[in-house]
A = this chain, B = another copy of it.
Amino acid sequence: MAKFLTSREENYSQWYNDLVVKAGLAENSAVRGCMVIKPYGYAIWEKMQQQLDKMFKETGHSNAYFPLLIPKSFFSKEADHVEGFAKECAVVTHYRLKNDPNGGGVVVDPAAKLEEEYIIRPTSETIIWNTYKNWIQSYRDLPILCNQWANVMRWEMRTRMFLRTAEFLWQEGHTAHATREEAVEEAQKMIRVYAEFAEKWMAMPVIMGHKSETERFAGALDTLTIEAMMQDGKALQSGTSHFLGQNFAKAFDVQFATKEGKQEYVWATSWGVSTRLMGALIMSHSDDNGLVLPPKLAPLQVAIVPIYKSLEGLEKIRKTVSGLMDKLKAAGISVKFDDRDTQKPGWKFADYELKGVPVRLAMGERDLENGTIEVARRDTLTKETLPLEGVEQHIETLLEEIQENIYKLALERRSKLITKVDSYEEFKTLLDTKGGFFLCHWDGTPETEELIKNETKATIRCIPFDAPEEEGKCMVTGKPSHKRVLIARAY
């Protein structure tokens, strides 16, 4: 099956596209920059959604749904916000088609022009804060802790499946609080939820930190981020959580009566992760043979391939593994007995490799005689023959082991590719020769940040939470700096 994929070494970017398409995750559509998420890809996304949704609810959030369309005038109300999103908006201007009087199918009916245009939401702060205005009168109405699972559109010019698409699926949390402290704490809490999800479920180590001012969300006072390293050493911003201060409350005039009876503006956060996580997942673990999925997010965890010469043989195998299947299912493990007669075992093996199924079992006639079964693990591509009796215990442990192992591998890879650098020349050289993440001193100015970006295409990914205080000099300007920041080229 390896032959079907371009290798990572040959062309990483082509490998990614090949894999997305050939593993049946997604494909490009007839709509510019929009993808179709195919059933297998969507099944992985559903697993992610389920776990994230559970974590949101455990932290006190409820889901709600707000309109897809946003009146254009709402956008002008928060200056930074409109600046950030106006250039990539899909605009609805009419509400009817009519038959082409010249016979060319249907045309837009000029008589059905909207008085005010609508924007397809690129994010929902404006429509939501316009709604919260009616929900909030007093401190008793706070906090509001809502989340929305939705589609959004940003008219990106250069798109790549999952990583950057004109339409994407995401969740956006929008919370309202009585105090600055509470909102700051909420933004912190949610970036930690994302980090926990990334590390424990996606098996993807991340670095948490603050974005620089330039890289903040349009309208935020502080943006927190989790940054993951892909196999090619580039960074992928995997989730963000924003402290919005009182910006949106002021833009939409959302005030509340405090316990003391004063009127104050409400404090806000918003936070989101998207189908971009699918791209992060793929590029964190997969290899030249296909996907490698963490067992916790694999739609199918165990596949059993029977190797038989006659239908009688097939039935014997089916009967022999049926007890194992029951035990695995009882342990909450998803398992499939692949009795398709249209494909040969070798083809099936390669297909499960391509699809990243964590454990693949095989049973042939000799196994029947010996009371054994072949157990292959996807992450290491190794296999062993084990006694059938009690193998369910082994498989259960193996799934945990795979989950841990791929996390460990990703962490080791990352450790090797994080470099402390103090000279800008050295930085530029290593960026091209070694790649990966760099911890450098920066003078904190947007000008220096801009210069680094223009000269090297690397950006300040974040100021890590755990960066120790350390006296140093900006690697570009030599001005004083007290902390190293994380710099890398990014998706």
Given known contacts A31-B127, A87-B96, A92-B92, A65 and B82 CB-to-CB distance under 8 angstroms: no
A235 at interface (Cβ–Cβ under 8 A)?
Answer: no
**A25-63 Cβ-contact flags toward B at 8 Å (1 or 0):** 001011100111111001100100000000000000011
Given known contacts A36-B131, A151-B68, A91 and B87 CB-to-CB distance under 8 angstroms: no
11 A-B pairs besides A36-B131, A42-B65, A93-B108 with CB distance below 8 A are A30-B71, A30-B74, A31-B69, A31-B70, A38-B64, A75-B106, A87-B97, A87-B98, A90-B92, A90-B118, A93-B93
Which B residues are CB-close (under 8 A) to A361? none
**A residues engaging B (CB < 8 A)?**
27, 29-31, 34-39, 42-43, 46, 62-76, 82, 86-99, 105-106, 108, 117-120, 127, 130-131, 134, 140, 146, 150-151, 153, 155, 167, 169, 342
**Which partner residue on chain B sits nearest A73 by CB separation?**
B105
Which B residues are CB-close (under 8 A) to A87? 96-98
Roughly how many angstroms separate A69 CA and B75 CA in the complex, as a whole number?
22
Given known contacts A71-B30, A91-B92, A97-B91, A39 and B146 CB-to-CB distance under 8 angstroms: yes
- The residue that A94 contacts in the complex, of B27, B64, B91, B106, with Cβ under 8 A, is B91
Which B residues are CB-close (under 8 A) to A90? 69, 92, 94-95, 118
Which B residues are CB-close (under 8 A) to A35? 67
User: How many copies make up the complex?
Assistant: 2
Closest Cβ–Cβ distance, residue A95 to chain B (whole Å): 4
Closest Cβ–Cβ distance, residue A89 to chain B (whole Å): 5
Which B residues are CB-close (under 8 A) to A70? 31
**Which partner residue on chain B sits nearest A105 by CB separation?**
B76
Which B residues are CB-close (under 8 A) to A118? 31, 90
B91 touches A36 (CB 8 A): no
Closest Cβ–Cβ distance, residue A306 to chain B (whole Å): 20
Which B residues are CB-close (under 8 A) to A167? 67-69
Closest Cβ–Cβ distance, residue A50 to chain B (whole Å): 10
B71 touches A31 (CB 8 A): yes
Which B residues are CB-close (under 8 A) to A31? 67, 69-71, 118, 127
A39 touches B63 (CB 8 A): yes
Closest Cβ–Cβ distance, residue A163 to chain B (whole Å): 16
Which B residues are CB-close (under 8 A) to A63? 39, 42-43, 46
The winner among A73, A97, A108, A134 for most chain B CB atoms within 10 A is A97
Which B residues are CB-close (under 8 A) to A119? 97
The winner among A29, A88, A118 for most chain B CB atoms within 10 A is A29
Which B residues are CB-close (under 8 A) to A91? 92-97, 108
Roughly how many angstroms separate A89 CA and B42 CA in the complex, as a whole number?
27
The winner among A62, A67, A73 for most chain B CB atoms within 10 A is A67
A68 touches B155 (CB 8 A): no
B117 touches A108 (CB 8 A): yes
**Which partner residue on chain B sits nearest A99 by CB separation?**
B86
Which B residues are CB-close (under 8 A) to A153? 68
- The residue that A75 contacts in the complex, of B73, B92, B105, B146, with Cβ under 8 A, is B105
Sample 16 A-B pairs with CB under 8 A, ordered by A number. A29-B131, A30-B67, A30-B131, A31-B67, A34-B67, A39-B62, A68-B153, A82-B97, A86-B97, A86-B98, A88-B95, A89-B95, A90-B95, A93-B94, A93-B108, A140-B342
A64 touches B92 (CB 8 A): no
B76 touches A62 (CB 8 A): no
Roughly how many angstroms separate A167 CA and B63 CA in the complex, as a whole number?
18
B106 touches A72 (CB 8 A): yes
Which B residues are CB-close (under 8 A) to A46? 63
Which B residues are CB-close (under 8 A) to A68? 34, 120, 151, 153, 167
Which B residues are CB-close (under 8 A) to A150? 151
Which B residues are CB-close (under 8 A) to A74? 30
Roughly how many angstroms separate A92 CA and B114 CA in the complex, as a whole number?
11
- The residue that A36 contacts in the complex, of B42, B65, B76, with Cβ under 8 A, is B65
Which B residues are CB-close (under 8 A) to A120? 68, 92, 120
